[in-house]
Amino acid sequence: MKIGNNKFRGIFVKADDPKFLEKHVVPDRELLDLESLNVTEIRAQHIARQKNFDTTPFDPDGRVLRLFPGGYTVWSGFPGAGKTTLLRQLACHLMHRERSVFIASLEEYPVDVFYRHACTALGTEDPTQSGLEWCVHHWAERLRLWSSEDLPAPHQHLLAAIRVLAGQGVRHAIIDSLMCLDVSTGDWEGQRLFSNALLRTVKLSGVHIHLVAHPRKIVSSDQDPDINDVAGAADIGRLADNVVFVRRAKNETVSPHGNATPMRIAILKQRHGSGACGEVLGWFNRTRKQFKSDQFDATRSAYLPALAYQQIDEEFAL
């Protein structure tokens, strides 16, 4: 039986069919011209970028983890593991190093957010009035708090606020958490689009965003977490500069010392810097509200001017 040629018209197409993009590609315009590059400038710019990073309170010198402008870090961990308290100390650490920080803590009242950060900076569970006043005065130009209590929070509005605040000097933004945004947990396409919007925001603004995302599944005490244990679409972790998983240490139930709770900070991904992954072990001092590398270190890490602590200590001595 013969089959007419018209039967094949919907199968075969011409290579120069206008429906294809090949006719619109202009290599000279769309490819990098290597011969036009100034290698001296490229090298200098690369070295400058590698030196332009911020650090964390558990690694203040940046030997393990570095936070570069124009990227984002995903922070994960089970409830009570210490990720939010660690991020409070991170904000205090960054402001102490003269970085402006925007915090959208969507699971807390805005005034409580300020109060708990003050507790961390002052190293106490019960800050004095003068201590709180020091925080207000010292952070007036460095701390911006998201005041809307609407849930779920509109992510487009939130990201737009970060881009605007970047023009006012904000260099870090903390979003706690992904679960409180208007991106459904089961909407993988919506989360993929959110990941791209997040990436566009950090690239346009130069801000480093810290996104809290809860774990996808339960990890046993003997199982080490990996990047796939972070909740949300895979794109969120795939596009991130860093993925950090905060856990209680395995020996917590054995003999935690006094007010110190053992912690494990697992770096599951690091795109820049050394690119190294691994763990940082330490202790969270519940009285001081601060992470310590030494179990028996009960001193206060200072995140305010020395005069603030001197005044507070004098008040307690009276």
Which pLDDT tens digit goes with each residue over 36-60? 999 999 999 999 999 999 999 999 9
Asked if pLDDT for residue 8 goes beyond 60, the answer is no
Backbone angles phi, psi at 216, to 5 degrees: -75, -35
In sign, the C-alpha dihedral spanning 291, 293, 295, 300 is negative
What average pLDDT does range 80-90 have in this prediction?
94
Length of the chain: 318
User: Which CATH architecture best describes the domain 30-317?
Assistant: 3-Layer(aba) Sandwich (3.40)
Integer Cα distance of 123 and 132 in angstroms = 12
* Contact criterion met (CB below 8 Å) for 294 and 116: no
Asked if pLDDT for residue 125 goes beyond 70, the answer is yes
What average pLDDT does range 128-150 have in this prediction?
95
Query: What is residue 99's predicted lDDT score, i.e. its pLDDT?
Result: 98
Comparing 259 with 1, the larger pLDDT belongs to 259
Residue 51 parent element (H or E): helix 39-51
Query: What is residue 111's predicted lDDT score, i.e. its pLDDT?
Result: 95
In sign, the C-alpha dihedral spanning 74, 80, 81, 84 is positive
Asked if pLDDT for residue 68 goes beyond 90, the answer is yes
Query: What is residue 12's predicted lDDT score, i.e. its pLDDT?
Result: 60
Which pLDDT tens digit goes with each residue over 195-249? 999 999 999 999 999 999 988 766 555 677 888 778 777 889 999 999 999 998 7
Which pLDDT tens digit goes with each residue over 267-317? 999 999 888 899 999 999 999 999 999 999 999 999 999 999 999 888 877
Strands (E), 25-106: 72-76, 100-105
Cβ burial of 99 (10 Å; 0-12, 13-18, 19+) is middle
Measured distance between the N- and C-terminal CA atoms of the chain, rounded to whole angstroms: 107
